[in-house]
Amino acid sequence: MQSEGEDCKIVSSEPKPEFPDGLHVLAVDDDIVCLKLLCAMLTKCRYKVTMAKKAAEALKMLREKKDEFDIVITEVHMVDMDGFELLEIIGREMDIPVIMISANDDKNMVMKGIKYGARDYLIKPVRLAVVSNIWRHVF
């Protein structure tokens, strides 16, 4: 079982030469099942992944290790802080791309995420093919 701040260790045995191997993703979701599924998909795509079960914990990690993470993927609806607030704080304090994820596919929610500065807004369930291409938001 993963704990907060732990790195996922699963690595695919099939290297993809076009893929920037080892890009570090901070995945944030207070639903542990969704978080573990996202982590498994990201590691299968050869990302290095650190999980945070709370937005506050994610902010703490980002503030302490600003240069360690390449991108953040965060759930929109969380108990301790919603993803939009997290996105706003990250945008003010650091230069790191953020992707929002949610089961809510309402057009207004998607547009709100983009207006707040999200690089993308992914609808759950997120597909592996979509996750494999998040590196494009870093470069």
Contacting residues for 15 by C-beta, under 8 A, at least 6 apart: 21, 46
For the whole model, what pTM was predicted? 0.85
Average pLDDT over residues 23-42: 96
Residue 7 has pLDDT above 80, yes or no: no
Contacting residues for 74 by C-beta, under 8 A, at least 6 apart: 27, 28, 29, 55, 58, 83, 86, 87, 98, 99, 100, 101
Q: How far, in Å, CA of 94 to CA of 20, rounded?
A: 22
Q: How far, in Å, CA of 57 to CA of 131, rounded?
A: 23
Answer for the pair 2, 52: CB distance below 8 angstroms, yes or no. no
SS3 state at 59: helix
Nearest 5°: the CA angle 115, 137, 125 is: 80
Residue 115: per-residue pLDDT: 93
pLDDT tens for residues 110-136?
999 999 999 999 999 999 999 999 999
Domain boundaries, the chain: 28-67+77-137
CATH number for the region 28-67+77-137 comes to 3.40.50.2300
Q: Is the peptide bond before 125 cis (omega within 30 degrees of 0)?
A: yes
Residue 82: per-residue pLDDT: 92
Residue 13 has pLDDT above 60, yes or no: no
Residue in 45, 57, 54, 51 with CA at minimum distance from that of residue 129 = 45
Residue 8: per-residue pLDDT: 57
Q: What is the mean pLDDT of the chain?
A: 89
Residue 22: per-residue pLDDT: 81
